[in-house]
Chains A and B, each alone.
Chain A
Amino acid sequence: MKVVVDMNKCQDHGQCVFAAPDVFSMDDGGHLLYVSDPDDALRDEAEEAADVCPLQAIRIED
């Protein structure tokens, strides 16, 4: 599984961090950090994060 985030769209809402804390986090400046090739066991979490992104900036690929 690959996680792709369009950083031009991201506005740091942080909803993905609530949905998938093992994939997404915020640095001290409030900016997004993420794992681009997480374990497949995290797929549901990652999909949930993509769903709740207000900017729809997250894509999950195979």
Chain B
Amino acid sequence: MSSGRVVVVGASMAGLRAAEQLRAAGWTGAVTVVGDEPHMPYNRPPLSKEVLAGKASFDSLALTPKASTADVEWRLGTRAVAARLDERAVDLDDGSTLAYDGLVIATGMRPRRLRCSGPRTGRHTVRTLADARGLRDELTRPGVRVVVVGAGFIGCEVAATAVGLGVTEVTVVDPLPLPMVGPLGELLARALLRRHEERGVRFALGTGVAGFEGDDRVTGVVLGDGTVLPADVVVESVGSVANVEWLDGNGVDLGDGVLTDEWLRVGGRPEVVAVGDVARFPNARYDGVPRRVEHWSIPTDTAKHAAKSLAAHLAGRERESAPFAPLPTFWSDQHDFRLQSFGAPVLGIDDVRVLDGDPDGEVVVGYHIGERLVGVVALGGHTAAAKAARYRTDLLKQPTPAVPSTSTSTSTSAVPSALTVQGASK
């Protein structure tokens, strides 16, 4: 089928990959991508690293669209404000409406904000290029004192980058006792804490933020135990919220992102799929419980699978029979070391074993459910990451699933509903 239109909402990595993969799956009809940022799709991981450090220009971040998408229409700087799924229409903030035959939901996440008393100026988040540029301007002011709220991946990366920029006072606050302990478990979290401290990052752990001091702009962060940390710049990295409000009123489960089935279809509709960070999908490799996965590999993986099911539906063909079963992979560069993860460590967080090396140096750690290896994380340099890669093959070979699929509800599950890249924190 070559007539008709697919509308993709969200013009970042997942939206771009969806457009490309629709072409690869044989869709020759119109594709319109709607995105509220003014930019063509760009790569986000460097925002908390190279961009903040001043080592990357926008040109080097831009994702180069494949030639197959040359005729895709990009509606940038335009926000989808409502979807009417029964009528197959999306309303945009410029007053226009796009009718569609197929819809791809790719609206991703936005940072969660702290709802505390005090001034707003001086408080930053890092999700967009504009965010990173604004924060960089502040971090490069001489003598600046920085408090990072949230010791998750992005918080730890920002703290490391700030120290690398020469900021002498960088403190990371988190109510949990260790950085990134949620996604990584105690063993690696301890090793990480030590490495950060050795490189000059300070930590205020085991206590949350109660409020901010200052009149027009932040001058201090008040902790739950009453301590005040002087601060000129605050970075809030306390998790993220799915951009799903525009889908309200359609009877779709928007509890934590957009619930999909194993073909990434939404609300039982074969013409609507969700991709990227916003999609809460069951992974047949694990227990079948739908989860969001905020890892860079997921936009591409979900786009491939979703585009196949959508293109097949639009062409009146049978969809592929294999359910979605990606192997999540994640990395994080901090200071002079890298964390490299394969699989779903968080599912095996209660049984963590050193597979190679030792936590004081280069180490590879395995996460288990019973005797089944479900995730591997390396901490260190090249050699650790290369060693972890060897276990990737083992992860791919593991029999599935470990736990039978229960239902599409996550409420009864003991494991977190998001394999989130940021540690949960208040």
Contact = CB atoms under 8 A, between A and B. Distances in A.
Interface of A: 9, 11-15, 17-18, 26, 29-30, 47, 51-52, 54-56, 59
B17 interface: yes
A26 B386 CA distance: 9
Interface residues of B, number: 20
Interface string B323-353: 0000001010100000010000000000000
Given A12-B382, A18-B392, A30-B382, A52 B297 contact: yes
B140 interface: no
Given A56-B64, A59-B64, A51 B300 contact: yes
B389 A14 contact: yes
Given A13-B385, A26-B386, A51-B300, 8 more contacts: A9-B60, A13-B331, A15-B329, A18-B392, A29-B382, A30-B386, A54-B43, A54-B45
Contacts of B385: 12-14, 30
- Interface secondary structure of A, over-half rule: loop
A54 B386 contact: no
- Interface secondary structure of B, over-half rule: helix
B1 interface: no
14 contacts: A12-B382, A12-B385, A13-B385, A14-B386, A14-B389, A15-B329, A18-B389, A18-B392, A26-B386, A30-B382, A30-B383, A54-B296, A56-B43, A59-B64
A51 B392 contact: no
B258 to A, nearest CB: 23
B38 to A, nearest CB: 20
Contacts of A59: 64
Task: In the A-B complex, list the 10 residue pairs whose CB atoms are closest, starting with the nearest.
Answer: A30-B382, A51-B300, A30-B386, A14-B389, A56-B43, A56-B63, A54-B296, A12-B382, A54-B45, A52-B300
Contacts of A54: 43, 45, 296, 331
Interface string B274-308: 00000000000000000000001100100000000
Contacts of B340: 13
Nearest to A18: B392
Contacts of A51: 17, 300
A18 B33 CA distance: 30
Contacts of B329: 15
Interface in B361-405: 382-383, 385-386, 389, 392
Contacts of B382: 12, 29-30
Nearest to A29: B382
Interface string B26-62: 0000000000000000010100000000000000100
